Structure 1
Amino acid sequence: MYSSLPRLLLLLGLFGFFACSEPESTIIPDSEINGWFDAKYEEFLQMSPLQMTTQGRKDRYGEIDDMSEAAEDQRLAWMESSVAELKEKFAYDKLSPEAKVSYELWEYQYEMEKGDVEFRRMNYVFNQMGGIHTQLPNMLINYHKVDSAADMNALISRYTEVGRAIDQLLERAKLQTEGGVRPPKFAYEYVIQQSNALISGRPFSDGPADAPLWTDAQAKIDKLEKEGKITNAEAEEFRTKAKEALVNSFKPSYQELIAWLEAELPNLEEKPTGVSRHERGAALYAHRLKASTTTGLSAEEIHEIGLNEVARIQQEMLGIKDKVGFEGDLKAFFKFVNSDPQFFFPNTDDGRQAYLDESTAFLDTIKKKLPDYFGILPKADLVVKRVEAFREQPGAPQHYSQGTPDGSRPGTYYVHLSDMSAMPKSTMEGVAYHEGNPGHHMQISIAQELETVPKFRTQIGFNAYIEGWALYSEILAKEMGGYKNPYYDFGRLVNEIWRAIRLVVDTGLHSKGWTEADAIKYFSENSSIAPGAIQAEVRRYMVIPGQATGYKIGMLKIQELRKLAETELGDQFDLKSFHDTVLGSGALPLDILEKEVKRWIAEVKESGQ
């Protein structure tokens, strides 16, 4: 925790009589401090045109964020000033319990941002996992909504702005390289491939196919014309301007990026270990673990938790193996479910559509059961889509992209389907629950729709909470009647052991000197995950250290808190109320979540309900 709470607790212990005897009128109304938070959050949002677009707003619609270190320093200085103002204006001990959470969260964000800035030249600027080079085009295609001629002008402006942003990021990558920090060779190989895909085809080069951004631009212009919002002549003018911006600004920045990356390839390691190979690598990894798990757990502690969880889950796997009558040991069963044709869709367009359709069907079924397990329900819709071709990777993990707070853009569960041999049917059901309902879509949508907390809390995210909830949701779905097929229940355990293995492998790579081969070997020996998916996973951990540890640590904490509530409350325990307590305050660091659940337990006991 990064607030002044410990010091205040000491003071309250010394002067408890006076604190207790203060009249209730001295408590600061939530509306007062929430108004301050909302005003400050609006200042913060105005620094990020992209964040406003993500939330469905059109402020600074033709701009892209300043990606420079100078802009980062400005933002940190602003955050420092805001924390000082918060402490000056509002006495923590005169706040309501809910307002105290907001106070702590505001401080927590600042403290973590300080750490991020300290290590900013050690985080790989360009990598294959959602790097800015693919995120920006994805934003323009999927988030920049065009409803008018002004919106189209803004989109064209952003094509030019992307060029500027990529140039800024390239300068940062060069600074990182000068400091001796380079990613594994495969990272740049993927980035080169992804970048080439963005500038291949019309209007960048001759050929039968259109580039992704050009396809999107034409579709948006055609839609405006069809709706009668622009004339045919205006449509032609937009096409000309869009083409010019893409060819004259967007393309050169990506060409320069590709050229630099290609020149760097001979300097990169083919078989690197994790970030421990860099100077200050251990300190960076400790910071990343703290940020990802929101705990003080060390790499060694996380490694041991992972080993224990792998052993426990394998015992459950043996139970299902025996239930389906498979003769052979667990490794033989892994091989069976990992290779038998019955567990895979065809590697065809029909097979890909079948994966999307069946995932949608699972989500439609579970949605009907949500009211039995939750009092708070999401209003936003959910769709299941294949990842766009320019950023699709064989075996890469599925992911969720949030909708807008007002529901104008639904939440999206994205699936990589270029290689159907890496997408087994057995794990499909559990992943759908993880990414959709009751997982990411439900949690993030509920957070965005909260009306009783400051707005920043509807958008804030903590890896361990968000991913921990989604992993908890996979097993919760079994309570809700999911996994009727025992092989799909085995797939649920495959998903869970996958997250437990992450604790072992991530810490192995970044604190124990493991190589990519070491990590793949451990993964292969302890799971039935497809080889392509294993390699993609390990390479993910290597470029974003620590992130993968949040899932299991978060899940274990939520399960621990549920068990605590069940034990403490006995017959008074209500699962719907527990879930509403966990989801009803938005995303939280795990220590603050624990305080909130314990506060709820005390309130239930006191009420006698």
Structure 2
Amino acid sequence: MHRLILAITFFASLMTYTSCTNTKTDERNPDLAKFFDTYFEERLKLFPLEATTQGDDRYNDQLPNDISQAFIEKTRQFYSNNLKQLRSFDRQNLSDADKVSYDIFEREMEVQLEGLKFHQEYIPFQQFWGLPLTFGQLGSGAGAQPFKTVTDYENWLKRVSAFKTWGDTAIANLRKGIETNMVLPASLVVKMIPQMNDLVVADPTKSLFYGPISNLPADFSREDKSRLTAAYKKAIQEDIVPTYRKLGDFLKKEYLPKARASAGIDMVPQGANLYTYLVKTWTTTDKTPEEIYQTGQKEVSRIRSEMEKVKQQVGFTGTLDEFFTHIKNDPKLYPYKKPEEVLDAFRAIQAKIEPNLKSMFTKTPKTPFEIRQTEKFREASASAEYNQGSADGSRPGIFYVPIPDASKFNITSGMESLFLHEAIPGHHYQISLQQENTALPKFQRFSWYGAYGEGWALYCESLGKELGLYTDPYQYMGALGDEMHRAVRLVVDVGLHAKKMTREQAIKYMMDNEPISEDGATAEIERYMAIPGQALSYKIGALKIRELRSKYEQQLGDKFNLAAFHDEFLKDGCMPLDVLERKMDAWAERVK
């Protein structure tokens, strides 16, 4: 599941969930609840793009200059004040449910404040994410920014005028980065330049940002259509194109010559401390980079051993690398002719696991679920993904599968593990149950922590055999390939940012241990270079969930119930792993 996240990102959709847990442990302090609600409202005003993403239209005309020193100081005060107010509550006198909320909130404020000292605004965007990319998605008319009413169209024009100011500040900040040696690797900058240049057009009607005008609602008056068309052409010509041109020219002429040759963030000022901070932020643990590196190597070795067993099981006599090549080229592993056959194969997976899910989960989502082929206009570059359902039930949770050519869909691509991760019981169960739980404070109900959310989805892949899957060795090989990819990430992410591993060495390590093309490995490694630590969250989260399950199986013996464990895990939504462990330990004590 791919999402732009800082440490908290808010999901949009509300449904109803009635908690059946012990009221003593779940009783809420009304004053604390009011404080959390006030925080959530203030946060949406401060970060209006979060409100837009969530479907809240109140701030759709606002685009704060969030990389300016004035804004950064404003956020520092926001987090400091909220942390101070939180600590006016006596945690010891709170219910178990409120203690969980308190701990999540306290940690979030502390982490956000700590991050401000590293001057990450000196690298305001890169090739993987940042406002110049998000702005294109919003302004295309196909993203979260609505273009249904005249007011919607006028709101976007106000954001456009603010984007110009943001672009100038980005260049000023990048210059400060050059002065202080806080710069991006050159290999990433060369990917950013064409991204900026692609949005520079001579004819405004050819711009990505002309999309909303090409799709003007039919019920707009002739005068509004004419006025808005002229205004959008002017905005593209005078604000948007000059901003992207200026960014592209600056990156090429001034920034690229000063970009660094090294791959790792440890080569910038405070780099080692910054990476330790990012590891803590993304994994929500206090594990050191070295611990994670050692874990990654052990996991790579373990999974390779499992792959060797599958190779022997199917009677392949060559090396593991030759087996990777074989499964990519064997015609028998490409059985599909039509997209509908691929979709039916996924529907069959859902039907196969349905009976066994009942023994693993007592609480299941009310949000409907569908499997769909990714739309033609975006499937060529899309990955399989899960899009959560809407509040009113009008939009189900959707598992999207891109199928540009059904005849090239390989069954060893991990179809069974993919379904468990992206769909059921992975993201669909976790996100839907979180959104449906109206007992949670909103900041918690719409939060996202990758170590928890992606960790859960990866843990769900490990449930395959218990759910009746992975009986076909090639499907199991696909699952192992998916798991290997997450294990390799632990080695190369830490290797790049803490152990002087070069970009080329990281690419080679990835290709040596999983069936991936050089282009695919390069894109992955450059993603890890751009967002240090993010790729660690998946495997670290999954390992922690498996560790907790094993701990309680041993502690509780006959009293351990897997469905009760899963229900308790999912009940309070996304949270840092250290908070999660305290919550689950308290649950185990109650079960005893």
TM-score, length-normalised on structure 1? 0.83
* Alignment partner, residue 254 of structure 1: 244
Aligned counterparts of 1:61 and 1:166: Cα–Cα separation in 2: 19
Unmatched 5+ stretches in structure 1: 1-23, 205-209
For residue 511 of structure 1, report the CA deviation from its aligned partner.
1.0
* Alignment partner, residue 96 of structure 1: 95
* Alignment partner, residue 433 of structure 2: 446
Residue identity opposite 2:323 in structure 1: F
* Alignment partner, residue 536 of structure 1: 523
Query: Aligned to 1:517, which of 504, 507, 524?
Result: 504
Query: Aligned to 1:495, which of 482, 490, 499?
Result: 482
Q: 1:523 to 1:507 in 2, by over 3 A?
A: same
* Alignment partner, residue 5 of structure 2: none
- CA deviation profile, 1:457-497 (whole Å, cap 9, x unmatched): 01222221122112112222443234454322211111101
Aligned counterparts of 2:591 and 2:324: Cα–Cα separation in 1: 45
* Alignment partner, residue 214 of structure 2: 218
- CA deviation profile, 1:542-583 (whole Å, cap 9, x unmatched): 111111111111100000111122223333322222111111
Aligned counterparts of 1:579 and 1:77: Cα–Cα separation in 2: 38
Does 1:150 pair with 2:151?
A: yes
For residue 175 of structure 1, report the CA deviation from its aligned partner.
2.1
* Alignment partner, residue 76 of structure 1: 76
Alignment of 1:19-30 (within 5 A): 29-30=28-29
Residue identity opposite 1:464 in structure 2: A
Alignment of 1:132-531 (within 5 A): 132-140=131-139, 141-200=142-201, 202-203=203-204, 210-219=206-215, 221=216, 224-225=217-218, 228=219, 230-264=220-254, 266-267=256-257, 271-340=261-330, 357=343, 361=347, 365=351, 368=354, 373-374=360-361, 375-377=363-365, 379=367, 405=391, 425-429=411-415, 430-483=417-470, 485-531=472-518
Residue identity opposite 2:456 in structure 1: W
Aligned counterparts of 2:376 and 2:69: Cα–Cα separation in 1: 30
* Alignment partner, residue 36 of structure 2: 37
Report % sequence identity: 32
Residue identity opposite 1:377 in structure 2: P
For residue 273 of structure 1, report the CA deviation from its aligned partner.
2.9
* Alignment partner, residue 582 of structure 1: 569
For residue 86 of structure 1, report the CA deviation from its aligned partner.
1.9
Aligned counterparts of 1:174 and 1:402: Cα–Cα separation in 2: 40
Contact kept? 2:190, 2:256, Cα under 8 Å: no
Contact kept? 1:397, 1:533, Cα under 8 Å: no
Aligned counterparts of 1:74 and 1:415: Cα–Cα separation in 2: 42
Contact kept? 1:159, 1:250, Cα under 8 Å: yes
Report the 3-state secondary structure (helix = DSSP H, G, I; strand = E; otherwise coil) of the residue aligned with 1:74: helix
For residue 257 of structure 1, report the CA deviation from its aligned partner.
0.7
For residue 309 of structure 1, report the CA deviation from its aligned partner.
0.7
- CA deviation profile, 1:276-299 (whole Å, cap 9, x unmatched): 222221111111111111111111
Aligned counterparts of 1:309 and 1:211: Cα–Cα separation in 2: 47
For residue 454 of structure 1, report the CA deviation from its aligned partner.
0.8
Q: 1:284 to 1:420 in 2, by over 3 A?
A: farther
Unmatched 5+ stretches in structure 2: 1-22
Query: Aligned to 1:547, which of 517, 530, 534?
Result: 534
Q: 1:389 to 1:120 in 2, by over 3 A?
A: farther
Contact kept? 1:345, 1:355, Cα under 8 Å: no
Aligned counterparts of 1:79 and 1:110: Cα–Cα separation in 2: 5
Residue identity opposite 2:513 in structure 1: N
Aligned counterparts of 1:244 and 1:385: Cα–Cα separation in 2: 38
* Alignment partner, residue 13 of structure 2: none
Residue identity opposite 2:509 in structure 1: Y
Give the CA RMSD over aligned residues.
3.4
For residue 344 of structure 1, report the CA deviation from its aligned partner.
6.6
Residue identity opposite 1:30 in structure 2: N
Report the 3-state secondary structure (helix = DSSP H, G, I; strand = E; otherwise coil) of the residue aligned with 1:471: helix
For residue 356 of structure 1, report the CA deviation from its aligned partner.
7.9
Aligned counterparts of 2:422 and 2:202: Cα–Cα separation in 1: 33
Aligned counterparts of 2:312 and 2:93: Cα–Cα separation in 1: 59
Aligned residues: 563
Aligned counterparts of 2:370 and 2:167: Cα–Cα separation in 1: 32
Aligned counterparts of 2:540 and 2:181: Cα–Cα separation in 1: 32
More off after superposition, 432-441 vs 178-187? 432-441
Q: 1:170 to 1:217 in 2, by over 3 A?
A: farther
For residue 364 of structure 1, report the CA deviation from its aligned partner.
5.5
Report the 3-state secondary structure (helix = DSSP H, G, I; strand = E; otherwise coil) of the residue aligned with 1:479: coil
Aligned counterparts of 1:526 and 1:441: Cα–Cα separation in 2: 30
Aligned counterparts of 2:345 and 2:202: Cα–Cα separation in 1: 32
Residue identity opposite 2:243 in structure 1: S
Q: 1:130 to 1:439 in 2, by over 3 A?
A: farther
Taking CA–CA contacts closer than 8 Å with sequence separation of 6 or more, which of the two structures ends up with the larger relative contact order?
A: 2
Aligned counterparts of 1:290 and 1:603: Cα–Cα separation in 2: 30
Contact kept? 1:363, 1:437, Cα under 8 Å: no
Aligned counterparts of 1:541 and 1:418: Cα–Cα separation in 2: 27
For residue 524 of structure 1, report the CA deviation from its aligned partner.
1.6
Contact kept? 2:386, 2:422, Cα under 8 Å: yes
Report the 3-state secondary structure (helix = DSSP H, G, I; strand = E; otherwise coil) of the residue aligned with 1:147: coil
Contact kept? 2:80, 2:113, Cα under 8 Å: no
More off after superposition, 407-416 vs 533-542? 407-416
Q: 1:586 to 1:494 in 2, by over 3 A?
A: same
Report the 3-state secondary structure (helix = DSSP H, G, I; strand = E; otherwise coil) of the residue aligned with 1:598: helix
Aligned counterparts of 1:35 and 1:325: Cα–Cα separation in 2: 64
Residue identity opposite 1:599 in structure 2: A
Report the 3-state secondary structure (helix = DSSP H, G, I; strand = E; otherwise coil) of the residue aligned with 2:87: helix
Contact kept? 2:279, 2:536, Cα under 8 Å: yes
